[in-house]
A and B are shown apart, each in its own frame.
Chain A
Amino acid sequence: MPVFSYTSPNLENNGAIIGVDIFPPFAVIKDLRDKQENVPTKKLIGLIDTGASCSGFDAPIANELNLIVRDQQPVLTPSGESTHYLYDVVLVLNEFFTRGIPIQAYGLDLSKQPYDILIGRDILKSCTLIFNGWNNSYDLHLHPEHIRT
């Protein structure tokens, strides 16, 4: 499997971060291309979060990319259960030159965080993650189906 290796002298504080490009869903990309309009995209800093079953991004990005809510789902946090809206998006883990990975993601307030998106287990289910704290590094192995050929 292709592997992305990241080393940081401050891995303990920074966590496992990775560059991510976010796009609207494939259907909207196709629609925009058919109309010869630009496809909006944004480069993000992602935090790999094994404690999140689902991904979520900083909510203002939804307006920037003209994303539209397509569903709502309950979420369990230490404070209890609540229901929130979900957007369909496509993510590209740009260190891998991956194919776009379509997911549903929540809109979050990450304005005071040093990252823009939480990469949850909905992405990690296609990966092997090795967090090497002794070496201040982590390796992310991605399933070949997501690699651009």
Chain B
Amino acid sequence: MLEKELKIYEENKARLREENPSGGYVIIKDERIFGVWNDRQDALNAGIKEFGNVPFLVKEIGEKSNNINSFSRDILFVN
């Protein structure tokens, strides 16, 4: 799921961060970088309007994206 999009993101992450020093949210669909928005909800709006409610990646590109979520107990994830 989203393998192509995540690969494109990793290949372009450094450039995206350089071009958007204040961060933002990039939309990637298949191998196309559709754009960067300051707000996640604005990015989702643009993606749904362009592609419909189909799979596409919405990825934070700022330093905050390096944060790792945590759960204090073991839990079963589904995927």
Chain B residues whose C-beta falls within 8 Å of the C-beta of A56 in the assembled complex: 71, 75, 77
Chain A residues whose C-beta falls within 8 Å of the C-beta of B22 in the assembled complex: none
Whether A68 and B53, one on each chain, are in contact in the complex, defined by CB atoms closer than 8 angstroms, is yes
Q: Is A107 an interface residue (CB 8 A)?
A: yes
Interface string of A72-102 (1 = CB under 8 A from B): 1111111101101100100000000000001
Chain A residues whose C-beta falls within 8 Å of the C-beta of B6 in the assembled complex: 72
Q: Is A1 an interface residue (CB 8 A)?
A: no
Q: Is B48 an interface residue (CB 8 A)?
A: yes
A-B pair count, CB < 8 Å, reads 104
Instruction: Knowing A31-B53, A84-B79, say if A25 contacts B44 (CB, 8 Å).
Output: yes
Whether B68 and A75, one on each chain, are in contact in the complex, defined by CB atoms closer than 8 angstroms, is yes
How many chain A residues touch B (Cβ–Cβ < 8 Å)?
Answer: 37
Whether B59 and A71, one on each chain, are in contact in the complex, defined by CB atoms closer than 8 angstroms, is yes
Within 8 A of B (CB), among A31-86: 31, 51-54, 56, 59, 66, 68-79, 81-82, 84-85
Whether A78 and B48, one on each chain, are in contact in the complex, defined by CB atoms closer than 8 angstroms, is no
Whether B69 and A68, one on each chain, are in contact in the complex, defined by CB atoms closer than 8 angstroms, is no
Docked Cα-Cα span, A82 to B74, in Å, equals 11
> Closest A-chain residue to B42, C-beta based?
A27
Within 8 A of A (CB), among B24-71: 40-41, 44-45, 47-49, 52-59, 68-71
Interface, chain B (partner A; CB < 8 A): 1-2, 6, 40-41, 44-45, 47-49, 52-59, 68-79
Interface, chain A (partner B; CB < 8 A): 24-28, 30-31, 51-54, 56, 59, 66, 68-79, 81-82, 84-85, 88, 102, 106-109, 118
In the assembled complex, 30 residue pairs joining A and B whose CB atoms fall closer than 8 Å, in A order, are A24-B53, A25-B48, A26-B41, A30-B45, A31-B48, A53-B69, A56-B77, A59-B79, A68-B53, A68-B55, A69-B1, A70-B44, A70-B55, A70-B58, A71-B2, A71-B58, A71-B59, A72-B6, A73-B69, A76-B68, A76-B70, A77-B70, A77-B74, A77-B75, A78-B74, A85-B1, A106-B69, A107-B79, A108-B76, A109-B77
